Every structure is written in C-alpha cells, then in structure tokens.
Structure 1
Amino acid sequence: MLKSAKKMLVLAFTSAILLGGCSQNAAPPKDKTQVPPAPMEETAISTTASTFAIEKLYVDSCGGCHGQTRLGALGPNLLPDRLFTSMSEEEIFDIIKNGRAGTPMPPFDTVSKDNSEDETIKQLIEYLKTPVALEAQTWSLEDAKATLEVVNDESTLPDTPTAWDPGKIEIGDLMVAMERETRKYAVLDGKNHELLGHIDGSYRTHTIQFGPSDTPEGRFMYGIGRDGWLFKVDMYSFKTVRKVRVGLDSRGVAVTRDGEYIAVTNYLPGTVVIVNKNLEPLKVIPTYAVDPDGQMVGIDGSQSRAAAILDTVIDGKDMFVVALKEAGHVWVIDTSKEGAEKGFPIIHDVGGVGRILHDAFFDDSGRYFFIAAQGDNTKPSLLDPSKLDDGLMAVVDVKEGKLVSQMPGGVKPHPGPGAVVHTEKHGVLYATPAIGTNLVSFYKQKGKTFELYKQVPLGKPGENGGSLFIRAYNGIEGLGEASKYVWVDIAFEPNWHKMFIINKETLEIYKEIDTAKDAGLDPKTARSVHPEFTKDGKFVYVALWEGNCVLVYTPDGNLVKKIEGTVTPTGIFSYGLRDHEPGI
C-alpha cells in the first residue's frame, strides 16, 4: 500500500556524484514547474501495473518535490539524460529500495510491505526513462523575471556587521562552507575558527561568489543552487536580500569586478543568464555550438550545457569567460559599460578546446584561461588519435581569443579552483589533479603557450582514489606571506580520508594527512575535500563531507581545531583570499 511517506520516494535522485534529499520544510519556489501534488490515495500496485498507475505514483508521491513533469522544484530534475548517465539502474534501484541515510528519503520497505514492491520499483525506473517534452524544458527571460523576489529590502540592512563582531574580525576573515544536503551555507570565522551561523540556500548549494570588496557590493555574497535559484545575501547580517530563478539546473556563478553584473551557467536549459546587481534578469544566451567532431550538441540536439564561468578584466574591460560543456567552446562575453549597452556581445568564440569541458581557473594576469576537458572515451583523443579520449587541460588566450595549448592532465582532470603556484626554483607553475588518476599535473608557460612540466603521484598507482580540488597560497601584500605548500584532496575511494601536501620547490609529497584519524571518525565517513587557505595564509580549512565537520590545519599539516556544527560541508570559500584571485 502507498503511504504518505512515499512523498519523498525519489527525493535523492540527481546527476551529481552523490545523491541527497531536499528539505521537507523549505518553501516551494514560485515558478511554473511547481504544481501542487494531487491528494494522496491508498492505491495497490500489482506486478502488472499500467503505465497510468506508475505515472500516477510518480505524480502523487514524487511530483511535489521534483515537479509534475520531472523538471525539478524543491528536489532536482529527474530527466533521463541526467539520471541514467550518472549511475546504473542497479544503483538507482538500490536507492529507491533502501533510501539514503542522512536524507529524508526513506527505505521503500519501511513504507510498503507489498510483495510486489521490487516490481513496482522496476516499473517506476522504466517510467523515469521516458522522455520529457522539449518545450517543457525551457526557462525564458520572462520566466526568470517572474520569479524575482525582494526578501529583505537593502534599506533595512544594518550599516555595520551584526552577525559577527567587527572588533574581532573583518569581512575578509569569513569562510563559507556549502552544506550540500541541508540547503544551507555555514559561515565560519577564519581567524578564531568558530561557526558563526547559517544562511538559507536552495537544493544542493553549489557555487558562491562575493561582491568586489572595493565596491558597495563587497558586503554581498551570491549563491547558486543546482535548482537554478540565485541568492543575494548580506554578509553583515546573513540575511537574504533578493532571489531569482535563472534556470532549472544551474552550476556556475560569476560577478564582474565592478560589481554591476552577475552571470549564471545552466545545464538545463543550456544557457548563460546575465542579471544586474539587483538580480533583475537582463539576458538569456542559448548555448548553440558545434563540437570538435562537427556535430551540433546538447541534451536537445542543439544546446550545450554551460559549465565553468569566471570573470576577468582585459584592457580595462570586464569580461565573463564561459565554457560550453559538450560543445567544447569557450566564450568571452563583453560586460563592460559599452558591452552592456550593446547587449553583452560574445566577442570571442573559441572552438575545438576539448570534449566535456568542466572546471577552470586563470593565471595571475587573468588573460590565460585554464579549462579541464574531461573527455569522451568513445572517441579518439584530441592529443593522440591512436588512443581514446580520457581528457586534457587546455589553455585559451582570452585577450586574443584563441586556443594556445592542449596538455595531458591525467584521466578526467578536475582543477576545482585550480592552483597558481609561485616558486623560486621553477618559476610560476599551474596545477590540476584528476578524478580518474591519483596524480597532480604541473604546467609551465613557454612564450604564449604552455607545456606539461611534471606529474606528481599521490601515492602508488591505484593506491588512492582521484581528486577534486587543489589550492596554493602565493601571499597577499599586507595580509600574508606565501606558503611553501600546495594542498590537494583525495575525494574518491579508496582512501578518501587522505589529504596530500606537496612542497612547491621540490615538487614532491611533503606530508600525507589522515583526516579520519584527526577528526576521530571512521574513514568511511571522513571524506575530506576542498582545502582552502584563509586570507592571511596562516591556516587551511578542510571540509569533511560525510563527517559533518570542518578541520583547521597549519599550512604544513598540523591540526589546529575541529569545528563542529556543519552538516555535509563540501566546497569552502575564503572571502579575503578569493577577492585577490582573478576570476574566483
């Protein structure tokens, strides 16, 4: 028998690495995809249940969170292009049947003792394979405008900080950790290592940016959830000022250096959306492009998902730089005063960069855009056609608008925020780890091109899983001296509780850290990710994803403190540090 608890039946489905539920207490978004679910009925579904009965099961039990047409609402979208490319049917079946600890999604057998439950789950999975009408997968400029909401008028905000003591810390000391499963951001004091409070976000809080500190927007944070909701938050009071939904499945956010414009990249629909500092939507740019194999790409055959987006300044003009995921293009969008007057034109469109573009970072000047191409192993490599494509690191010269380098980066490189590494012995290096290989690749500039300089193994081949994030600290004048060390995580099993510290002068492993031991946790619940230096470079913050805490270390790897009170923290963002790095 179906019971009301089944309303969370498929809550945890998503295309992310791990699955997680959404809050039952959060208010539903005000958009056209959210339709109140039909009243729950006690319905028996036999092994010969009709398609109609299975569709009714979805609408009654799942539509309230995931949208009646599976486009997402409080929970993620459940489109087959997302769901079945990220996991196997066996994994999906297991999640429905057994639920997921730490989320509201219950095990199926706790809400139904029907002997046909396995068959019902199988039929539900088959239903989730069916396509959703393309016209329902759109989100227009008018759709976005209709969702704009003023939550707290700026005129009501305090003139000085009230959420933290300005006598003890500055805004640059704030560290923000995304709480992946709670729809919140945890704000930490990067000087005294304390939890200051929480800020509401939306589904799978994903990426944040801060307003430029030398503008009135410097007190604000901009956060995007994977459900497309963009928030403007006052970091003096931790109050949300405004919010707007700019897509159905979003990933990246960037802010111009003058604080005037914010842009978001969307997976669904494939678009780049530009809003002003009041979150008023100004332009939606569809991501039509031709991939390196000459095919028009995207989930609907014409649009590519939009992935990394960073801001930079070229010849005094603000620019957004965008990676088109399947298309393998990099766009440079003019967001200067003149560019805004012309409707934010794409001034450079660089193709053939790689297959499946993902994360990116800039060099110190903001001219060279390092972008990870994670590859398509059903096709020949762009580096060596005799091999299958397992990915590469590419570099685009944003000023001249051309591809200057494609280099090995391990299997599925993933720089996260990336690492620009200033050394005495080697000059300036650029580094990325990889998801599929436990190593770090270092690159060096040679004229207007770049080349692989050295690869540093993170343990023996196959001994550890791959990585997601790498960070370095090159010093900030008046704030802190450069660190000798580069930090990189191990984000996948085996041994996802390890962190590695690399000596930047020797380019050898300096120390291996066991975060499970330091946190007093079982290694199975101590996945440690996203090391982030504080603004003065004196400490490194590390998120323990399933461990529900943040660890604080000295740059050479000595534990300083375990900060409790965060739930499923992942990405950590240092306000003061990122204000001095191009693009992030």
Structure 2
Amino acid sequence: MLRRQLLKSVIAAAALGLAGCANLTSEPAAQEHWLPTGDLGIIIERADGRVALVNTSSREKLAEIDGLGDLSHASAVYSRDERYAYVFGRDGGLSKVDLIGRSVVGRVMQSGNSIGGAISQDGSLVAVSNYEPGGVRIFNSDTLEMVLDLPAVGSDGQASKTVGLVDAPGHKFVFSLFDSGEIWVVDFSQAKANGGQPQITKFDNAGKQPYDALITPDGRYYIAGLFGEDGLALLDLWHLEEGVKHILPNYGRGEKRLPVYKMPHLEGWAIAGNKAFMPAVGRHEVLVVDMHTWTEIERIPVHSQPVFVMSSPDSRQIWVNFAFPENRHLQVFNTDTHQMLTHMEPGEGVLHMEFTPRGEEVWVSVRNENEVQVFDTASFEQRASVPVASPSGIFFTNRAHKIGL
C-alpha cells in the first residue's frame, strides 16, 4: 500500500514538472524578441530618421526602428541594464528606444536644435545639450519628464550654445559654453537634500569658443577643444579649486593652417597608457601628448585631416579616419612605436568606428556604400558587411558601463 502511494506521488510530481516545463516553453509573445543585451548595438541611419538594431556576435542587422526625427547629427547613450538607448537628434528630439521591444517607447521635442547628451552615473537622469535655445535640459530617464531646465547664460549676460556635455563620477554633468567661453560643472550628489537643485560651479576662463570636449576614461580630466584660439582647456575634476588650465598653448601659432573641412570630434580621442592621441585641427597630423605633463611628445604624419582617432580596448592600436574629400581612407597605428600598421580604403564616406567590447573586431560605417564593414583587428581582414542605409554613428551597449560615453 505504501509503495503504491509513493509511486502515485512520484508520478504526480513528474506530471507537474512536465506541465511547468510546458508553460516555460510556451511563454507568451512578450519574450518573442528577448535577447542578451550585451550583444546588441544601434547604428544611426542618418538620412531616414531611424536606427538599425544589430547583433555584434552574429554580425547581423536584426531590425530597423524608425520615428526618430532628424538624425543628421545624432548620438546615443544607454541605460544601466543596456535595454534602452536614449537617442539625441539634431532637431532637439530625445527618444527612448527599447532594444528588446524594438520600438520607440518615449519621445520629447525638448529644443529646436540639440548637439548630444549624457546619462548620469546612477542612470536616473538624461541630460541634453542644446544650440537653440541653448542651455542644458535634464530629464527623468524612466518617464522623460523634465527635471531641470538650465539656461546657459554666461558671465557676459548672453545666452550660449552648449557643447561637450559628458557625465562624470560623483553624479555630475560637465559641459562648455561655446559663445561665452566657459565650463560648468553640475553636481547632483546633494540634490535630494537641496530640494532637487544641483550645485553648479562655473569657470569663465575656458578660452575662446570651446567647440567640443571629452572626459578621460577614469573620469578625472575634462578637456575642451578651442575653435577660436590655439590650445586646449583642461579641468581637473578631482581638484576643481585649481580651476581651468590651458595646455598645448603654442600649437599652431605662427604657422599657416590648411582649410578645415570638418572639425575633429574630441570624444574620439585615443587614450593609451599615459599618452593621448589627438586629431590636429587643420593638419595632416595626430598629436601625441604625455598625460602626466600635458605636453606634446610627437606628431604622427597621417594621410589627411583626421576626424576620429580611436584606440582599441587593449590600447595597442589607434584607428584614424579623415575629413572630406579624403574620407574613403582609414589608417591604423601602433600606440607603442607610432608606426603605421595598415592603410585601408573601405569606400566613400567612412564616418564612424566602434570596437566590439573586447576589441577583436571593429565596425566601420561607410555612408556612401550604404553598409557597415566589420574588420578583424589582428589581421585587418574584412569579416562581414552589414547593409545599413546611410550609416553614421555606431553605438554598442557596452557603452552603458563607461564614463563619458
């Protein structure tokens, strides 16, 4: 009798287990598009107001997500869980894109002309940098409700375009004022105790017309490029009391410059060890700078005017692309010897590059060919070609865990 009861119990338990398995395998359509987000990324399709969702491991396009407005100059950041991309469009639109649901789940027209954005250290705030009407607007990352409208009125009393917006450790945002030559640090670390208001520290001696900026990978140094004068502005975020310092002040003085067809993007600087590799404005050179002293070490001759100078995740290589009309070229250099490793011509309109998280491959957008080419970073052989209409910026989800990206 006891044996029969035990046998019945075992059979019943097995039946329940099988029923449970059946439920797991027939999960509703909510999980139809579920994917590990670490494999994903988006590519801006600048002519069509949409992004391509891609898988970096299978090297394929999974979907196209539209309704994003003017993406002629666009960038993106990610939520901490890598599920949501926040896309900043040229038309002032801030869009929240669900990579798993493959759809736009939120969108606000927050200005008339914007130039990029950043997400806070804890992922709760998204900030947008604006040309028109200027200033920075900050939003709740969940709801896209505006938390703070921060007009950029300089010490001269005039409204200014804002550029070079980055996130920084300590729940900070840092940006530059193009028209008034200032750098502002917006600190949200004590905002809850201050009724939601951040502490703002302003530096009014950044230099003439800061046009873009970067933050070093460790989050310590904020560096702004200057369009209106030679040199760069540097702010040590560990020691704000020291104020803004000017570095490389003599670069370009007294020498005839070439026409500038496209301003280099400072966020594309390469940092390798104690060296920074910088695109030289209006020159066929990459500057090598000692980050301990912030002095020039060397100038590397390159094919044409560099736009992006990007380092591989292991810091062994820098990849350099170029401004029009030489934007079909791509060069790779060794960061130790500064020697060129290869010179490639992927096609007309090489605009952006993005390394896979551990750097075994690099994806290169080739706008005029309507494709993104994938190269092996060891052999430099092309591994794949992904069809993407008018591709520009490439943003992989591992950016969610990096400062300033």
TM-score relative to the length of structure 1: 0.59
CA offset at residue 265 of structure 1?
Answer: 0.7
2:121 matched to 1:241? Answer: no
Counterpart of 1:469 in structure 2 is 308
Partner residue, 2:13: none
Match of 2:275 among 424, 429, 435: 429
What secondary structure is seen at the aligned counterpart in 1 of 2:166? strand
1:415, 1:434 within 8 Å by CA — same for their partners in 2?
Answer: no
1:303 maps onto 2:167 in alignment: no
Structure 1's 337 and 187: CA in aligned 2 closer, same or farther, altered over 3 A?
Answer: farther
Other-structure match for 2:295: 451
Pair 1:287 & 2:140 matched: no
Instruction: Tell me, yes or no, if the aligned pair for 2:278 and 2:287 is still in contact at 8 Å.
Output: yes
Partner residue of 1:405? Answer: 246
Q: Does 1:208 align with 2:76?
A: yes
Asked if the contact 2:225/2:266 (under 8 Å) is kept, the reply is: no
User: Does 2:219 align with 1:366?
Assistant: yes
Distance 2:213 2:30 in 1: 36
Is 1:550 aligned to 2:382, yes or no?
Answer: no
AA in 2 matched with 1:454: E
Q: Tell me the distance in 1 between the aligned counterparts of 2:193 and 2:180.
A: 25
Whether 1:563 and 2:386 are equivalent positions in the alignment is: yes
Paired positions, count: 363
Q: Is the 8 A contact 2:83 2:99 kept in 1?
A: yes
Q: Is the CA contact (8 Å cut-off) linking 2:76 and 2:88 kept in structure 1?
A: yes
Q: 2-side partners of 1:369 and 1:241: how far apart?
A: 33
Contact 1:531 1:543 in 2 (8 A): yes
Question: Does the Cα contact within 8 Å between 1:374 and 1:392 map onto a contact in 2?
Answer: no
TM-aligned CA distance change 1:274 to 1:360, over 3 Å: same
**Alpha-carbon offset, residue 340 of structure 1:** 7.6
Amino acid at match of 2:329: K
Percent identical among aligned pairs is 27
In the TM superposition, residue 254 of structure 1 has moved relative to its aligned partner by 0.7
For structure 1, the 5+ residue unaligned runs are: 1-156, 297-301, 376-388, 475-481, 517-525
User: What is the deviation of 1:362?
Assistant: 1.7
Amino acid at match of 2:289: Y
Q: Match of 2:181?
A: 328
Pick one of 345, 354, 357 that aligns with 1:535: 357
| Residue 488 of structure 1, aligned match among 320, 336, 350 | 320
What are the equivalent positions in structure 2 for 1:507-518 lying under 5 Å apart?
507-516=338-347
CA distance in structure 2 between the aligned counterparts of 1:421 and 1:159, rounded to whole angstroms: 42
Which residue of 2 is the match for residue 126 of structure 1? none
- Shift in Å at residue 221 of structure 1? 0.8
| Displacement after TM superposition at 1:435 (Å) | 4.8
How far did residue 158 of structure 1 move?
A: 7.8
Correspondence for 1:258 among 88, 99, 122? 122
Question: What's the counterpart of residue 583 of structure 1?
Answer: 404
User: 1:111-260, aligned counterparts within 5 Å?
Assistant: 160=31, 162-163=32-33, 166=35, 170-200=36-66, 201-204=68-71, 206-213=74-81, 218-260=82-124
**Residue-by-residue CA offset, 1:83-123 (whole Å, 9 max, x unaligned):** xxxxxxxxxxxxxxxxxxxxxxxxxxxxxxxxxxxxxxxxx
Contact 1:334 1:340 in 2 (8 A): no
Shift of 1:420: 4.1
2: CA distance, partners of 1:255 / 1:563: 29
Q: Give the whole-Å Cα distance in 2 for the aligned partners of 1:374 and 1:573.
A: 27
Q: Given that residues 312 and 366 in structure 1 are in contact (C-alpha distance below 8 angstroms), is that contact kept between their aligned partners in structure 2?
A: yes
SS where residue 546 of structure 1 aligns?
Answer: helix
1:224, 1:175 → 2: CA distance? Answer: 15
* Distance in 2 (alpha carbons) for counterparts of 1:562 and 1:176: 15
Unpaired runs of 5+ residues, structure 2, are: 1-27
For 1:244 and 1:353, locate their aligned partners in 2 and report how far apart those are by CA, in whole Å: 32
How far did 1:281 drift? 0.9
Shift of 1:419: 3.3
Structure-2 change in CA distance of 1:289 and 1:483 (3 Å): closer
How much does 1:308 deviate?
Answer: 1.6
Contact 1:304/1:324, CA 8 A, preserved across alignment: yes
Secondary structure at 1:263 match in 2? strand
Q: The residue matched to 1:470 in structure 2 has which SS?
A: strand
Letter in 2 for 1:207: S
State the AA in 1 paired with 2:86.
Answer: Y
Distance 1:266 1:172 in 2: 30
Offset, 1:359: 2.5
Distance of 1:484 and 1:333 partners within structure 2: 34
Q: Is the 8 A contact 2:353 2:363 kept in 1?
A: yes
- Take 1:325 and 1:342, find their aligned partners in 2: how far apart are those partners? 30
Code of the residue aligned with 1:174 in structure 2: it is L
| Structure with higher strand content | 2
Q: Which stretch has the larger CA shift, 337-346 or 531-540?
A: 337-346
Structure 1: distance between partners of 2:58 and 2:121: 29
Greater RCO, 1 or 2 (C-alpha within 8 Å, sep 6+): 2
Rounded Cα–Cα distance in structure 2 between residues aligned with 1:354 and 1:363: 20
- For 1:270 and 1:340, locate their aligned partners in 2 and report how far apart those are by CA, in whole Å: 28
Structure 2 vs 1, CA of residues 340 and 506 (structure 1 numbering), >3 Å: closer, same or farther?
A: farther
Distance 2:193 2:153 in 1: 21
How far the C-alpha of 1:303 sits from its partner, in A, is 0.8
**Does the Cα contact within 8 Å between 1:417 and 1:470 map onto a contact in 2?**
no
Task: Say if 1:281 and 1:208 are closer, same or farther in 2 by CA, change over 3 A.
Answer: same
Q: 1:431 to 1:344 in 2, by over 3 A?
A: farther
CA distance in 1, matches of 2:210, 2:368: 28
